[in-house]
Structure 1
Amino acid sequence: MPTAAATEGRPALCQPSTPSQATAQSPFHAFTQALPGIGLTVAIAGAAFLAHQVPGISALSPLILAIVIGAALHNIIGTPAWAKPGVKVSLRRVLRLGVILLGLQLTARQVVEVGPSGLLIITASLIVTFAFTTWLGHMMGVDRKLTQLIAAGTSICGASAVIATNTVTQGEDEDVAYAIACVTIFGSMAMLSYPLLSSMMQLNPHAFGLWAGASIHEVAQVVAAAFQGGTASGEFGTIAKLSRVMLLAPVVITLGLIAARQAASRLGASAATERSAGRPPIPWFVLGFIALIGLNSLIAIPADAKAWTAGTTTFLLSMSLAAMGLETDLTKLRAKGARPLILGATASLFIAAFSLTLILLAG
């Protein structure tokens, strides 16, 4: 029987068909192989949820804690070989399911409540920040894929946007970890500084809530910051932020189309056609995300059910980030240097200043 090393380089059609290989290719065998690794990501996600309850750590979302725990395990003791098939499942299929379910947290009515001017400010801040960050990353010599992940995390919705965007950019796990570190650090700094700055500038609750929702990275960070200005500010900030999350779908689809066009120009029309036949360039799971937004807008889902799906969504995304942590090499992360960190800081300052300027001009 040929060894894995001997057969790895040969096309699948040239390999002998043996009973053991037929078993290895069966869906049931693949599922049983993946179970231990999936169980490991479930355990890490559970640990992240428990750690999130600890005073002093609760400011960090379970998503952030999951990737930290996963990366710590990988870099201290190593990811065991038996876990790798399940880790890959959590990185891909579980991630896509989590992004789809994210749509149940949003409704079209929330966009209406923000109003035309508020929605325009949010959209303009997102587009201009993404474009500015992409341009600045190119000027600074930061890797294109890492730049796009930092741009998405800063301009849209933090870690969720980073991992959704990576399905298109297909960056390394270290790129994902670095981008998430940026949005965590600078989003947390914004969460702490915005209430103080709002008091100094004497922003009214509506303006402060819109500013927080239009520019702070994570939903949890927006909630923590906006409610410091009172209930009205907190509620409007949360709605503004969720409206911003809705823009995740068109951004990811646009990046998918751009990636497909770039692939066509590099490989030629025939090669690109062959490649797209095997794998669609557009992340179709994003359409599931949009469909659930529509469903949530048309059907009144009970509050208990929505709370359950919100918790399930966070847990699934935490599993995905745990898997990313289990494949993140900190030595590679350090090798990327300080330029991406400077890029993330500049992008965060830019979206804060740009959105605030628009809010003040709008009155």
Structure 2
Amino acid sequence: MSDADLTQSTPPAASAARLWPGLLLTGAIGAIAFALHHLPGFGALSPLILAILIGMAVHNVIDTPTAAKAGVKFSLRRILRAGIVLLGLQLTLGQVAAVGPMGGALIAVTLVSTFAFTTWLGRRLGVEAGLAQLIAAGTSICGASAVIATNEVTQAGDEDVAYAVACVTVFGSLSMVLYPMLGALLPLGAHGYGLWAGASIHEVAQVVAAGYQRGTEAGDFATIAKLTRVLMLAPVVIVLGRWAARGATGQGSSQAAPMPWFVIGFLGMVLVASTGMVPAPVHADATILTQFLLAVALAAMGLETDIRKLKAMGLRPLILGAAAWIFIGALALALVLVTGQA
């Protein structure tokens, strides 16, 4: 069911009434995910990851109620895009400038190289192109948020999204454990370690966890470097949208690729945050709201994910995710050492 179906096939009041069961279900799962995140043993998993896991459990154990379908679809589209727009408030141009020209170039080279390597290896392994792009985006940019944002233009299946999220969860979690251990053995100062972690670990929460294990300075710089990567989500989505449009209309077509409006909103929020006029309490509340909206969207994704289809994909996508994880970690470390950023 498309967004147009929700608004045109029935009167507005009736259409809105159809959304409530699904919105209540996805909202409840999002709230449970937030609550679990604060319990001992669950803190390493972000609410986004917990939400999709709970949604998958509900769908595969008791099934998603038919009455909730319309609201689940709405959560997957409109609420997801609203969350991505608000994500821009977590970034400022000043944070990007703090990374410095060399650090910014290092992050960009690592991101582009990892995305290209992952999509190339995906073809070699026979992984479906849409799934390979989602794994590439999740690994090279910002984990689950990048996966679901990228899927807005690649339009892969829900099971592909769930598999890609699983990859960034597994390997990002390994990074939280291994990076502090390896960092103690490598010739890296706080700045170098923070840049390495921020340029290569998947999720923002995972970067924070790994970064601050080496001290406040390392944690602060790791977070700034990671947020710089998040800012690169916008151009990546725009480029992928153009590729998708070219593939759909043919190489010779002059039809322009549609501009994803949520990307424009994302960039607009970055500019708003950069003015410094957003009060600290508002910024804190917006951060929580952003995570909740994305958790609701991933809950909806889980409610449409069939575990049997995930199993049918086999191990090749997991091998691809592992290779991408090793590649980005090794490349970022090499560049930190070679460029004198250590």
The TM-score with structure 1 as length reference comes to 0.90
1-structure distance, mates of 2:157, 2:178: 32
Render the CA deviation track for 1:272-315: whole Å, top value 9, x for unaligned: 95xx8xxx633121000001101111242111111100000000
Is 1:91–1:324's contact at 8 Å kept on the other side of the alignment? yes
Q: 1:23 to 1:225 in 2, by over 3 A?
A: closer
Q: Could you tell me which residue of structure 2 aligns to residue 19 of structure 1?
A: none
1:25 alignment partner, SS class? coil
Q: Could you tell me which residue of structure 2 aligns to residue 291 of structure 1?
A: 268
Render the CA deviation track for 1:243-270: whole Å, top value 9, x for unaligned: 110000000000001111111117x74x
Is 2:272–2:278's contact at 8 Å kept on the other side of the alignment? no
Q: Could you tell me which residue of structure 2 aligns to residue 118 of structure 1?
A: 103
1-structure distance, mates of 2:236, 2:15: 33
Residue 200 in 1 paired to residue 185 in 2? yes
| Match among 303, 312, 326 for residue 289 of structure 2 | 312
Render the CA deviation track for 1:50-77: whole Å, top value 9, x for unaligned: 1101111111000000000000000000
Q: 1:295 to 1:23 in 2, by over 3 A?
A: closer
Query: Radius of gyration: which is bigger?
Result: 1
2-structure distance, mates of 1:220, 1:209: 14
1-structure distance, mates of 2:64, 2:259: 31
Structure 1 residue identity aligned to 2:269: L
Q: Could you tell me which residue of structure 1 aligns to residue 16 of structure 2?
A: 31
Residue 48 in 1 paired to residue 41 in 2? no
Compute the displacement of 1:23 (Å).
Answer: 9.4
Is 1:79–1:326's contact at 8 Å kept on the other side of the alignment? yes
Structure 2 residue identity aligned to 1:351: I
RMSD (Å), alpha carbons: 1.6
1-structure distance, mates of 2:12, 2:247: 34
Q: Could you tell me which residue of structure 2 aligns to residue 3 of structure 1?
A: none
Structure 2 residue identity aligned to 1:108: L
* Superposition map of 1:50-65 within 5 A: 50-65=35-50
2-structure distance, mates of 1:51, 1:296: 30
* Superposition map of 1:1-363 within 5 A: 25-265=10-250, 269=253, 281-363=258-340
Deviates more, 1:196-205 or 1:248-257: 196-205
The TM-score with structure 2 as length reference comes to 0.96
Q: Which runs of 5+ in 1 are unaligned?
A: 1-7, 13-21
Compute the displacement of 1:24 (Å).
Answer: 5.3
Deviating beyond 2 angstroms after TM superposition, the runs of 4 or more aligned structure 1 residues are none
1-structure distance, mates of 2:9, 2:93: 46
2:42 alignment partner, SS class? coil
2-structure distance, mates of 1:69, 1:75: 10
Q: Which runs of 5+ in 2 are unaligned?
A: none
2-structure distance, mates of 1:327, 1:204: 45
